[in-house]
Structure 1
Amino acid sequence: MEHKPEIDGLRAIAVAAVVIYHAAPGAMPGGFVGVDVFFVLSGYLITALLVREWAANGRIDFTAFYARRARRLLPALVAMLVVVMLLLAGPMGRHESLVDEAATSSLHALAFLANFHFQASTGGYFDAGAEMRPMLHLWSLAVEEQFYLVYPLLLVALLRFAPGAPARRLAMLALGSLLLAEYWVNIQPERAFYQMPARFWELAAGGLVALSPAAAHAGRLSRVALPAGLALVLLACLQTGAWGPFPGKSAMPVVAGTSLALLAIHRGAVSGWVAFLLRSGPMVGLGLVSYSLYLWHWPLLVIVEAAWPEPAGIGLRLLACLAALVLAWASWRFVERPFRRPGIAPARALGAGLAACVLAAVAVAALARIDRLPAEVREISDAARQDLPSILGQCHFDTRDEVRALKPEACHSRPGVPPTYALWGDSHALAWQPYAWWLAEAGDASAAPLTLNSCEPSLGLADAGDDCARFNHLALTWLAEQPLDTLVIAQRWPIGYSELGPAPPLLGERVAALSEALARLRHVRRILVMGPLPDLSQPAPDCIALGWEDSCSRTAPAHRQRVARAWRELDELARRHPNVELVDPTDYFCDERRCPPARHGFALFWDSNHISASASLGFAEAYAADPARYTRRPKDAAPDTESR
């Protein structure tokens, strides 16, 4: 095909939007739609190539097509994966969660299944965040690869069996894909985001432009289409995040804008200052290296973020992007270009590409197995990753679950024995399960779990979602009917509610909602309300493995100061409800100096804020030995040092 520099300019806009969004999200809140620009461009270019081949030969050489795709995509991908794994297994080797995630993601990417992997491993309440996934951006590459597997066959079928109206049939398929995306985004948002069928319409939009006639002379509409399309793309880059669930209909502006710009280019309407900007040297240069820049920028940003206990500043993030740009140029010059030169037989190119993927997979797996941790550190770190409550899974509700009934009797600490102890709250109540079960066992009783992620125990909380409100209604109804001896209540008392400055009203709202619920539980002999805990800046297993115990933890005085407001509210709560006892675990989790990730020979947390099962059980024993030490009386309220 004739090289159209304006398309390189569109690539430059797309990759710049993505990089800016990842480096400084506030500067371009919708910059993630740069990926959607790439989808439309890919659909256009692939369709144009295949249609020209069909018109010239009456057939499509699938072997040659896939060989071109392999030569275009695989060399730079394989090079990036291996080099990043070398960096992670070498200087970052003790950051095991990062290395393990990178290796797993890389293997899925080499099998063209990265999007399935990320759909399954993101979006869950306890799943690692994006900042711990160096290969997360490869989901979009997997979507394109899966599109390439089915689209040529589909296009051949349209050209052969509907030669008079292939665009109409493709438009119908695109509409079906858009409707599917809109349906999924409201019931299964991860599937809508990651799966190719929900993105097919975006690639097909580019294909529809390629199937449209190229006018001999560009009309007025075509000349207006380029600036109008780019304006729509820019608006999407700035506003898409505020337009509701994505993709689906909220992706329509960026897809429409890119399609309009492509239509103008397709019809030769490339005059004016906008076209001049797109085909300018810097834009074309950035467009040429856009694929490699997309591959490199995100792993470097993740590495910079993970290299220190404190969050990376904007300066470091921009430096990482600059390094990615240098590596992108080197990748384009010494990896992409040599492999794109003609002369290699298609079958041989395909075989070489598959062999490169296999060898890269072997290299990635081998690098992931390098062990750089001292034995004693590994023992504690590995134990922390697995130190989870026994009810996690079948006996605890996730935010993805549809709550229709409470967990069955088999989830009680003593199935078959009517429970007189219960545990109620969010995921932090879940973390206290060993403590609650220990209390029940000491009382020769059975305990029942009532826990749902991100759902505070309350009644009538204004911002509680439907599932949380339904769950709390079921929990309160059950609790009101049981002859309970002891109820353990826990939730995360967010640090944002107790930092310096004016007290946010949400803290009062949450305590008031809890108080309203407690008013229905006067028949319970004893209600233990677990007080606020310290947290860490990084997950405890990583803090231990990296030797960042001090850097990850807060000082004990800082923790006490941060939670002073929350304790004042809880003191008032205990005054209103005589059967409430406040439990303050601070002395167990903090020494005089710090609140570390590990004490007593084991990790105190399994991540950055949920206490480990060992810590929960250890506290139960400490509490039983000296309950007065950990029981806070309202009259003992700490002075309000923050207002002084």
Structure 2
Amino acid sequence: MDKLSGAAKSGVKTPSPGPRNPGIDLLRGLSILLVLLHHIGLRLPLRHGVLAGYVPLFVLNAINYNGYESVFVFFVISGFLITGNALRRWGGLGRLDARAFYARRFARIVPCLLVLLLVLSVLHGLGVHDYLIQRQGQTLPRALLAALGLHLNWYEGHHGYLPGNWDVLWSLSIEEVFYLGFPLVCLLVRRTWLLVPLLSVLALSLPWTHAALAGNEIWQEKAYLPGMAAIAAGVLGAWLAWHWQPRQRWAIRAWIEAGCLGLAAILLIEPWLWPALRDACLLLLTVSVMCLLVGLQWRQAAGPWLPWRGLDWLRSFGRLSYEIYLSHMFVVMGLVRVFHACGGDMRWGVLWYLPAVPLCWLLGAGVARAISLPGERWLGAWLGKPRAPARLAMPGAASGEKA
């Protein structure tokens, strides 16, 4: 069976769940912001605007073209938070309650997803250009089946990209397929000495599984195994944070700083690292994010800390990351349409970024209030929440954090 934390084994009272981890919310906020800027940048690239004369090109590219990397950051965060919550509720992955696990995932994911698919279907039926499924071999019923059947990534890999608002669902297909199998594997394997090596092999396979798919650009980006490898890195990070808490502050800082350094290297200078590391750049990214998350969790457990209030706006993006991810393309496509209707001077495209960011936040907040929160409460009550056999607090666990 999974072992409990050292504090639990020694009889020391484990800390009760505290407030949300501000560092993790900040990382999620940065990631969703980079996804948003990426989707604007594909249509209004900063390198073609007035900033190109004042800001180094690698900085502008870092702002515009880290959306794919940011999705892998989300994969690691998702594995970390969901595993941490499972450890806190059941005390070990071998004691995970599969029914309760699936119910929580269903209640979290389904309300927003169903509403999004309904809206996209209506827009397609009305013939709205940016939402019309019209590639050869693609149809609305088949796209709906792919989204609900968790293989939209495979569908795009074989039939080409879907319109932007559909396309974002590729990552959801990978995540939820992983979490369909995760409880079953945990309950079948049970033994930590076997489960951790299996997850480690999956996490470390990322460069090879990604490189092996080079013949199909879309499928290489969106295949199951590379994304699952990133999620596995997050699972391992949560397991490590649960079982070990260093006493020295310098050790915690070292993990955080190493994670930040690796993450910054990928986001800022990946083009220069690629000739040497190639597909291992993604492994450097996922391992760096795992180290950062572990360090942030340990920092939370070490005692109260006051994050810089000036970044609260970015943390709020992190708290709404799922809702913003699903809805932001409505804002992006709308503003790009208005931009072209107003003459479309690419030199001043940067000005259209200014309303896009707050509008995406507002739409995400509205979706959370009107759909996510009430839908999750209703589904949670309807599906029922079986009582966990043991509610042990993960050291420094962030109550209420959701992936």
Shared fold (TM-score greater than 0.5)?
yes
The reply on whether 1:196 has 2:257 as its aligned counterpart is no
Encode CA deviations 1:54-98: one digit per residue, 9 max, x unaligned: 4279632212111111111111222233334445555xx353872
List runs of 5+ in structure 2 lacking aligned partners. Answer: 1-16, 47-59, 386-403
The reply on whether 1:285 has 2:323 as its aligned counterpart is no
Contact 1:45 1:210 in 2 (8 A): yes
Write the distance in 2 (CA, Å) between the matches of 1:294 and 1:206: 20
> SS where residue 247 of structure 2 aligns?
coil
Encode CA deviations 1:419-443: one digit per residue, 9 max, x unaligned: xxxxxxxxxxxxxxxxxxxxxxxxx
Write the distance in 2 (CA, Å) between the matches of 1:278 and 1:202: 30
Write the distance in 2 (CA, Å) between the matches of 1:269 and 1:57: 22
Encode CA deviations 1:364-394: one digit per residue, 9 max, x unaligned: xxxxxxxxxxxxxxxxxxxxxxxxxxxxxxx
Which residue, out of 267, 275, 284, partners 1:253?
Answer: 284
Contact 1:8 1:279 in 2 (8 A): no
Which residue, out of 7, 13, 22, partners 1:5?
Answer: 22
**Paired residue type of 1:21:** H
Alpha-carbon distance change, 152 to 64 in structure 1, aligned in 2, over 3 angstroms: same
Contact 2:255 2:295 in 1 (8 A): yes
Write the distance in 2 (CA, Å) between the matches of 1:170 and 1:43: 11
The reply on whether 1:334 has 2:370 as its aligned counterpart is yes
Write the distance in 1 (CA, Å) between the matches of 2:265 and 2:149: 35
Structure (1 or 2) with the larger CA radius of gyration: 1
Alpha-carbon distance change, 210 to 247 in structure 1, aligned in 2, over 3 angstroms: farther
Which residue, out of 38, 44, 66, partners 1:31?
Answer: 66
The residue number in structure 1 matching 2:111 is 75
Write the distance in 1 (CA, Å) between the matches of 2:76 and 2:228: 10
Contact 2:328 2:363 in 1 (8 A): no
The residue number in structure 2 matching 1:357 is none
Contact 1:229 1:261 in 2 (8 A): yes
- By percentage of residues, which structure has more strand? 1
Give the TM-score, by structure 1 length. 0.47
Which residue, out of 192, 198, 203, partners 1:169?
Answer: 198
Contact 2:204 2:229 in 1 (8 A): yes
Q: CA deviation at 1:225?
A: 2.2
The residue number in structure 2 matching 1:14 is 31
Which protein, 1 or 2, shows the higher relative CO under an 8 Å CA cutoff with sep ≥ 6? Answer: 2
Alpha-carbon distance change, 270 to 74 in structure 1, aligned in 2, over 3 angstroms: same
Alpha-carbon distance change, 203 to 152 in structure 1, aligned in 2, over 3 angstroms: same
Alpha-carbon distance change, 277 to 167 in structure 1, aligned in 2, over 3 angstroms: farther
Write the distance in 1 (CA, Å) between the matches of 2:286 and 2:26: 16
Q: CA deviation at 1:275?
A: 7.3
The residue number in structure 1 matching 2:150 is 112
Write the distance in 1 (CA, Å) between the matches of 2:369 and 2:37: 24
> SS where residue 184 of structure 1 aligns?
coil
**Paired residue type of 1:173:** L
Range with bigger deviation, 164-173 or 50-59: 50-59
Contact 1:109 1:138 in 2 (8 A): yes
Contact 1:40 1:258 in 2 (8 A): yes
Write the distance in 1 (CA, Å) between the matches of 2:309 and 2:257: 11
The reply on whether 1:95 has 2:137 as its aligned counterpart is no
Contact 2:66 2:267 in 1 (8 A): yes
Q: CA deviation at 1:304?
A: 4.4
Contact 2:323 2:364 in 1 (8 A): yes
Write the distance in 1 (CA, Å) between the matches of 2:27 and 2:79: 14
Alpha-carbon distance change, 303 to 89 in structure 1, aligned in 2, over 3 angstroms: farther
Q: CA deviation at 1:139?
A: 0.6
Q: CA deviation at 1:111?
A: 2.4
The reply on whether 1:238 has 2:276 as its aligned counterpart is no
Encode CA deviations 1:479-526: one digit per residue, 9 max, x unaligned: xxxxxxxxxxxxxxxxxxxxxxxxxxxxxxxxxxxxxxxxxxxxxxxx
The residue number in structure 2 matching 1:62 is 98
Q: CA deviation at 1:276?
A: 1.7
Report the RMSD for the aligned CA atoms in angstroms.
Answer: 3.5
The residue number in structure 2 matching 1:40 is 76
The reply on whether 1:209 has 2:226 as its aligned counterpart is no
Alpha-carbon distance change, 119 to 244 in structure 1, aligned in 2, over 3 angstroms: farther
**Paired residue type of 1:120:** H
**Paired residue type of 2:258:** A
The residue number in structure 2 matching 1:227 is 257
Write the distance in 2 (CA, Å) between the matches of 1:280 and 1:214: 29
Write the distance in 2 (CA, Å) between the matches of 1:210 and 1:174: 13
Q: CA deviation at 1:113?
A: 1.7
Alpha-carbon distance change, 189 to 99 in structure 1, aligned in 2, over 3 angstroms: closer
Write the distance in 2 (CA, Å) between the matches of 1:283 and 1:136: 24
> SS where residue 212 of structure 2 aligns?
helix
Alpha-carbon distance change, 219 to 248 in structure 1, aligned in 2, over 3 angstroms: same
| Matched ranges for 1:286-365 at <5 A | 286-305=317-336, 314=349, 315-316=351-352, 318-341=354-377, 344-345=380-381, 347=383
Write the distance in 1 (CA, Å) between the matches of 2:381 and 2:301: 36
- By percentage of residues, which structure has more helix? 2
Alpha-carbon distance change, 214 to 191 in structure 1, aligned in 2, over 3 angstroms: same
The residue number in structure 2 matching 1:149 is 180
Encode CA deviations 1:581-613: one digit per residue, 9 max, x unaligned: xxxxxxxxxxxxxxxxxxxxxxxxxxxxxxxxx
> SS where residue 276 of structure 1 aligns?
coil
Contact 2:111 2:372 in 1 (8 A): yes
**Paired residue type of 2:66:** G
Contact 1:115 1:139 in 2 (8 A): yes
> SS where residue 215 of structure 1 aligns?
coil
Write the distance in 1 (CA, Å) between the matches of 2:221 and 2:130: 28
Contact 2:331 2:356 in 1 (8 A): yes
Encode CA deviations 1:532-567: one digit per residue, 9 max, x unaligned: xxxxxxxxxxxxxxxxxxxxxxxxxxxxxxxxxxxx
Q: CA deviation at 1:286?
A: 1.4
Contact 1:105 1:114 in 2 (8 A): yes
List runs of 5+ in structure 1 lacking aligned partners. Answer: 123-127, 350-644
Alpha-carbon distance change, 188 to 341 in structure 1, aligned in 2, over 3 angstroms: same
Which residue, out of 163, 176, 183, partners 2:212?
Answer: 183
Contact 2:37 2:64 in 1 (8 A): no
